[in-house]
Amino acid sequence: DAGVTQSPTHLIKTRGQQVTLRCSPKSGHDTVSWYQQALGQGPQFIFQYYEEEERQRGNFPDRFSGHQFPNYSSELNVNALLLGDSALYLCASSFPGQVDYGYTFGSGTRLTVV
Amino acid sequence: GESVGLHLPTLSVQEGDNSIINCAYSNSASDYFIWYKQESGKGPQFIIDIRSNMDKRQGQRVTVLLNKTVKHLSLQIAATQPGDSAVYFCAENIGGSARQLTFGSGTQLTVLP
C-alpha cells in the first residue's frame, strides 16, 4: 500500500519564478494538507483541500495556491518566489471519518530558491 | 533578507536509558495532541497521540503525559535505541474537522552508544 507520494524530491528555482509541487495521497485518503518546514523549525500549515476545495488556510500569502483533482491528488503552486520560500514542503493526507486524526506525511519536496 | 533556521534544542542519552522530551503548547483551547518523529530526509511519522480529557497515554516503549494546567506535554521513551535518534515534534489541534496542526519547534534526540 503506497503512502503519500510527493514529486519532485528536490527542486532549485530562481527568485521571481513560479513552482508547482505535486502530491498523491495515501490510498483511501481524500483530504490533503500542505505544510512548509523551514530548516530547523517545525512544519507550518499552509492549507487543506477536501472535495476539490480549499477548506482551511494558514497564515500564508496569496502567492501560495493549490488545487485538488477528482482523484484526490493535489498541487501546491508558489508564484513570485522569494529566498525565504526555501524550505521542505510536506504533503499530508487523511480521511475525514477517522477518529484519530491520522495524518500520513510524505517525505517532502526540498525547494531551494537562489 | 534570507531567514535563518532556529537552533533546535538537543537531548543526548545513552543507549538503554530512558528519554524525556518536553513541549510547551500554545493554545489553551487545543484538545488533541500528537507526537511526531522526523528522521533526516523524511516526513514526520506519527508516534502517539492524546486527547485533552486524558493526562497519560502509553504505547509501545512510549508514554505521553499532558498537563493542561501549565500547557505542557512530555514524551517518554523507554530503553532508548539508536533508531530513536531523530527530531521529535509535538503538535496541537484546536478541534473541528479541518485538522490544522500547530507544531512546536522540535527537539533533536541523539542516542549515544
Close Cβ partners of A98 (under 8 Å, ≥ 6 residues apart):
none
Verify whether the Cβ–Cβ distance B100 to A39 is below 8 Å: no
Asked whether the beta carbons of A34 and A42 are under 8 A apart, the reply is no
State the nearest Cα–Cα gap between A55 and chain B, in angstroms: 7
- Which has the higher per-residue pLDDT, B22 or B94? B22
Cell numbers for B81, please give them. 535505541
Whole-number CA gyration radius for chain B: 14
Q: Do B49 and A4 touch (CB under 8 A)?
A: no
pLDDT in tens, A53-92: 998 899 999 999 999 999 999 999 999 999 999 999 999 9
Q: What is the pLDDT of residues B58-103, one digit of tens each?
A: 999 999 999 999 999 999 999 999 999 999 999 998 765 557 888 9
Q: d(Cα A55, Cα A50) in Å, to the nearest integer?
A: 6
Residue A48 pLDDT greater than 50, yes or no = yes
Q: Are B103 and B91 in contact (CB under 8 A)?
A: yes
- CA–CA distances in Å: residue A89 to residues A103, A111, B13, B15: 15, 7, 30, 32
Percentage above 90 pLDDT, chain B: 71
Three-class secondary structure of residue A36 per DSSP: strand
Q: Which residues in A lie closer than 8 A to residue B3 (C-beta atoms)?
A: 38, 84
Q: Which residues contact A28 (CB under 8 A, 6 or more apart)?
A: A95
| Residue A92 at interface with chain B, using a CB cutoff of 8 Å | yes
